Amino acid sequence: MASSTRVVVVAVAFTVVATFYSLSELHRMSAMHAQAETAKFATHTSTEGRSLVAGTTQAAAKTNVGTVGAQTGGVAANTAATTQATSTVAATNTAATNTVQHQSVKITDHKCYTYEHTELWGDVVVWGTLNKVKTAGDCCQSCLNYKPTTPEDPDCNVWVFCGDEQKCGSQYQQCWLKHLVHPEASKPARQGPTTAWTSGTIDVDINADPSADAAAQVKNGPPRVFHTVTSAQGAAVHWQVRIHYYWWKKRKAECEKQGGCEMGGFTRLLHSGNSDDLMDELPTVVVDPLPQSMVEHSWYVVLNRPYAFVQWTQKVKIPEQYVLMSEPDHIFLRPMPNFMKGNNPAAFPFFYIEPSKAENIHITKKFTGPITQKQLEEIAPVGNSPTFMTFDDMKRVMPTWMNVSIAVFKDQEANSVWGWVQEMYGFTIAAWLNGIKHVDLFLHMMAQPPWDQEMTMANGKPFYILHYTYGMDYKLTGEFTPGKFGEWRFDKRTYGSRPPPRHLGDPPKNMHNDLVRALINSINEATAALPCWDSYAESGKADYTCDEMKSLTDPRFKQDGKAII
């Protein structure tokens, strides 16, 4: 019997190690893929071959475009066109300045948002070589005037105009009309004073700032307070959620000091089915994991999450109307505003959630039924976290999320193609099935180092959450080494069975990534402040009996070892 037990323990340990290694590689390869795709696309679109997908121009300027060669940029095209430009709106194209400027112009029933020194992505529907106009306003109007050949063809929702004769050269006055699914979910291809292009979006402001909206809301009415709920289970996130809650409490205190604070209550949603040693430190609701009798999912514990939220929405009553779903590996960088506009959900967009992408369409339709391309594009590129929703919407969506996620898990193709992020697809499909056709997307809601490097985006908007899901590897000289272990590295998976020690070593001096440095500083501050972390790091069990408790000055902990929550 003892021998059999050892075999089982060794097998389980091997499985755990293999799983963490696989996850690390999955995240690393996803990030490398994103970087590689960005480099290829940016190079491809900086020249005259700007189309990635074939399209047609306006009736007055028809173009049949063949396949674009991804490696060579070669284009097979048969063009017979005349150029038609409309000029019903007067607008001035401003010369290059040292900052990226943004303005909006109301045109008929649509609003045209303009971004100077910015080149946006998009599949070309009208080539700029065939569509020259005088001003950025004319280019916006050209986008509004564009009519797809069929209802299933993409419309124009992004335009790119070059109005500086000296900087644009042969591309002067070119107006490229594009279609981009969720423009606010993609960082610009290029941005900054050296970029000659002016870009625009129709009815979607990619520079929307929820903190400014929140400040205006406070002036016009009471704050729209939201509840933060963070799902958790297992040793891998046990230490993460303690650090997560430390920073949540610190940011809430700062928020309340500022006035008009929208951060309300906090819940750790523990979906293990059993209480643990953090019950006195974190406000916790315990729910059951998804029964294995419903579906065997021992290798994919994430499937417990939708079921956990079903139980939570059914068993709790909260005073807040709004909810932020968060995760243990989120560190709050500053006080968090309510990102929602009205009652529409608001979320961070993930580049790898693409329900309307060609290779995903037939899989998506397995769970939505027959829908059009425009309906597919209504499905947001999001998961459940970080996402703001009304509590009422959560009560409707969570059961569907559970059912769709189980269906995706059972479908061999969907399970294989969507892999570790399949429950994220389940969530966004479930939201769409429940009538949520629009989600406000905010790239600056969350930073993901090492791929994000600075505390603010290029447009000056600050990040609010730091998500440490990817491994971070550097040479001691500070050089980033993606894809291979660095001489200095941090990866949360290193601490899958035991918490990290206090005083993690600083990143290399010449490492130029402010977010990686902020992450290490944040972990070190929290572990220094949370009592008895040294014994916790050794045992993995929370301890409130060490000598530190006798002289603890942090008001968040009582002298009897019980946390003040």
| Confidence (pLDDT) at 299 | 85
| Confidence (pLDDT) at 109 | 79
| Confidence (pLDDT) at 43 | 25
Instruction: Tell me which residue has tokens 């609010």.
Output: 464
Q: Is 240 exposed, middle or buried (0-12, 13-18, 19+ CB in 10 A)?
A: buried
| Confidence (pLDDT) at 550 | 76
Strand segments, DSSP code E, in 304-454 are 322-326, 330-332, 346-347, 387-390, 440-441, 446-447
| Confidence (pLDDT) at 385 | 97
230 within 8 A of 244, measured Cβ to Cβ:
yes
| Confidence (pLDDT) at 524 | 97
For the segment 417-440, what is each residue's pLDDT rounded down to a tens digit? Answer: 999 999 999 999 999 999 999 999
| Confidence (pLDDT) at 219 | 64
Tell me the CATH class for 112-202: alpha beta
For the segment 159-176, what is each residue's pLDDT rounded down to a tens digit? Answer: 999 999 999 999 999 999
For the segment 258-281, what is each residue's pLDDT rounded down to a tens digit? Answer: 999 999 999 999 999 999 999 999
| Confidence (pLDDT) at 105 | 56
For helices 235-258 and 514-529, give the axis angle rounded to 10 degrees.
100
User: Which residue positions in the chain have pLDDT lower than 50?
Assistant: 1-100, 559-565
| Confidence (pLDDT) at 373 | 93
What are the C-alpha distances in Å from 124 to residues 38, 51, 52, 156, 159? 17, 5, 7, 9, 9
